[in-house]
Structure 1
Amino acid sequence: MKIVISEFIHEPSLERFGRGFDIVYDPALVDDHARLCRQLGDADALIVRNRTRVDATLLSSGPGLRAIGRLGVGLDNIDLEACATRRISVFPATGANTLSVAEYVIGTAMVLLRGAYGAGEAMIAGRWPRHALMGRELSGRTLGLVGFGEIARMTAQKAEALGMEIAAFDPFLDADDPVWRTVRRHDTLPALLGASDVVSLHVPLTEATKNLIGAEMVGHMASDAVLINTSRGGIVDEAAVAAALVDGRLVGAALDLFAEEPLTSAATARFAGIPNLILTPHIAGVTTDANIRVSNLTVDNVRRAVAADA
């Protein structure tokens, strides 16, 4: 049974496949579509992260494909309808990187609120900007979660332990859902945004959520609020957020995902010179610890799927 892996994985996890599996592990395949298609010609399964576009064209190159393993949880790079038509099972690594994302949100919120960690260059130059760096504490402030799924709930748990108040907006959860007993529920997104000191996004990319946070929604946020996106690229209107930061309509933001990845030159120019902006390369859910969990879970899922059909 042949397994093709087109993006990076924790290599020791591959040993979990055991005997009887032909493993083709080549992270360069994600950038070589023709070679990837050739490798899929006799493959039983494909394992990807977020950059490999698993569309109908790619799937047609693998007539024997029975399983797709996703090293992560977002599935917007995988044509689920095409997979269902072909009866190809898709396995996200649900839960394996939840803690990493939650810790990223909490740590980033602390950095953005405190505002004291970019002073190194000024101090090396001989300045002592103590009064200019009097930031705010996390405790006592409100964390507003857009979407209240597994990762958002873990984030809420960590934030609550640090003294934050938790609020959320999720139209897919009933108003009488037990989860609202300990979380302040908002009926609309503008209401949540207006009541939050820290806004963290936890929704999938769909037609309804594309550019969800643009100029209009930023306008509902307090000028001293901060925005964190660890969900999907395309949910935030990057130009609108950059403009709000420059104009002082938003005090800080952290973006881990982008509409186009890696960043284009236009996006890079848009973000240049904004000191209250943290940019990271789609890394919130990728720690050494999470990578091991994600890799182990994905290998186990794919191994069981193809072995069951053998």
Structure 2
Amino acid sequence: MKVLIATVKPFAPAARDAVSDILKQAGHEVVVLESYTSNDEFLQAVADADAMVVRSDKVTEAVLDAAQNLKIVVRAGAGYDNIDCYQAREKNIVVENTPGQNSNAVAELAFGMMIMLARNTYDGKPGSELKGKKLGLHAFGYAAQAVAKVAQGFSMEVYAFDPFLKDDFIKAHSVTPCHSVEELYALADYISIHIPATPETVKSINAELLGKMKDNATLINTARKEVIDEEDLGRIFAVKPGFKYAADIAPDDAVKQELGEKYPTRCFFTPKKMAAQTVEANFNAACAAGRQIVAFFETGERRFQVN
């Protein structure tokens, strides 16, 4: 089978070589398309591919239409909202992700940002400690579970809300379940967001929900930009003098500039999406994607299918 590795944001060379080796050793042909500058290059490359590995690349209806032989797409990472899963299903194309491979990287970044804001972005003035504070996890997937482990090392009290999980599962991780998102936001000193961007969640973190947070609470977003109502975010900064926000997906430029100018020690944004940007996460996700494609063609394995 012909496998396309299409990455406008390339894997690290070691990760790219490792996934290529996994696929080649299983007898597959590998084609690598990196740092492409036009969608036409992507459409041309996918035309005769039987399988594809992507990162944040947009697998749209047009891409799927161009892929006449495509049977499986694996997103090397957890989030898969860059793939048109509905159209893939209509074309009998399996879509998979690689959950858990980036979780530790996400958790460490989330805590790096928590510590930065707890210490007032290191401006020299007294900050606060994380020990004894309440951390709320908005969703409790692999990344949130990794955040919980780190938080427990900091002696934080950890809570989680996830309507798709049973209390016993959350409690098994020594985390206290909440039974509404409003309850979670009202009790926590820190909130870490781990929800996907779906029609139901886009702009769901709005003034009504943020208004329930403590006046000096901190919101950390390593999930998706779209889940935040950015206009409401600015309003919350104005009415809650101790509110802080950090994200590795920056708001729109105008909002980012306004918040940065008005509240320089109360917000922080990485220059680009950084949650999975470690050598280890890069390598783990790439290799997992390769192994999943091999298993799909050898045994029909679809354990990580998301569509």
Scaled by the length of structure 2, the TM-score of the pair is: 0.86
SS, match of residue 68 in structure 1: strand
Amino acid at match of 1:149: G
Give distance in 1, aligned partners of 2:234 and 2:91.
42
Partner residue, 1:46: 52
Report the Cα offset of residue 307 of structure 1. Answer: 5.4
- Distance (Å, rounded) in 1 between the aligned partners of 2:98 and 2:136: 26
Asked if 1:285 is matched to 2:291, the reply is no
Unpaired segments ≥5 residues, structure 1: 120-129
Identity %: 29
The answer to whether 1:194 aligns with 2:194 is no
Cα pair distance change 1:37/1:185, threshold 3 Å: same
- The secondary structure found in structure 2 opposite 1:239 is helix
Cα shift readout 1:147-175 (whole Å, capped 9, x = no counterpart): 11222122111101210001111222234
Structure 2 alignment gaps of length 5 or more? 301-307
In the alignment, what sits opposite 1:36? 42
- Indicate the residue corresponding to 1:180 in structure 2: 171
Equivalent residue for 1:142?
A: 134
Aligned counterpart in structure 2 of residue 304 of structure 1, from 285, 289, 295: 295
Structure 1 segment 127-166 matched on structure 2, within 5 A: 130=124, 133-166=125-158
Equivalent runs, 1:86-105 vs 2, <5 Å: 86-105=91-110
Q: What does the per-residue CA deviation read over 1:201-225, in whole Å, with 9 as the maximum and x for residues that have no partner?
A: 1111112211121111111111111
Superposed displacement of residue 24, structure 1: 2.5
Compare relative contact order (CA 8 Å, sep 6+) and give the higher one, 1 or 2: 2
- Aligned: 1:269 with 2:257: yes
2:120 matched to 1:115? yes
The 1:227/1:265 distance shift into structure 2, 3 A limit, reads: closer
Does the alignment pair 1:2 with 2:7?
no
Once residues 205 and 189 of structure 1 are traced to their aligned partners in structure 2, the CA distance between those partners, rounded to angstroms, is 16
- Say whether the 8 Å CA contact 2:80–2:97 is kept in structure 1: yes
Which residue in 1 is equivalent to 2:75?
A: 70
Q: Contact (CA 8 Å) 1:43, 1:62: kept in 2 or not?
A: yes
Mark the CA change 1:250 to 1:66 in structure 2 (over 3 Å): closer, same or farther: farther
1:231 shift after superposition: 1.5
| Partner residue in 2 for 1:218 | 210
CA distance in 1, matches of 2:252, 2:240: 25
Question: Aligned pair in 2 of structure 1 residues 94, 140: CA closer, same or farther (>3 Å)?
Answer: same
Question: Equivalents in 2 of 1:61, 1:196: separation in Å?
Answer: 47
Q: CA deviation at 1:264?
A: 5.1
Give the aligned CA root-mean-square deviation in angstroms: 2.1
- Looking at structure 1, the residues matched to 190 and 228 of structure 2 have their Cα atoms a distance apart, in angstroms, of 15
| Contact 2:246–2:268 (Cα < 8 Å) also in 1 | yes
Secondary structure, in 3 states, of the residue corresponding to 2:249?
Answer: coil
Contact 2:99 2:142 in 1 (8 A): no
The yes-or-no answer on 1:256 pairing with 2:248 is yes
Tell me the equivalent position of 2:198: 206
Which of 231, 239, 248 is the aligned partner of 1:239? 231
Aligned-pair CA distance for 1:77? 1.2
Query: 2-side partners of 1:215 and 1:171: how far apart?
Result: 21
Measure how far apart 1:236 and its partner are.
1.1
Q: Which residue of 2 aligns with 1:122?
A: none
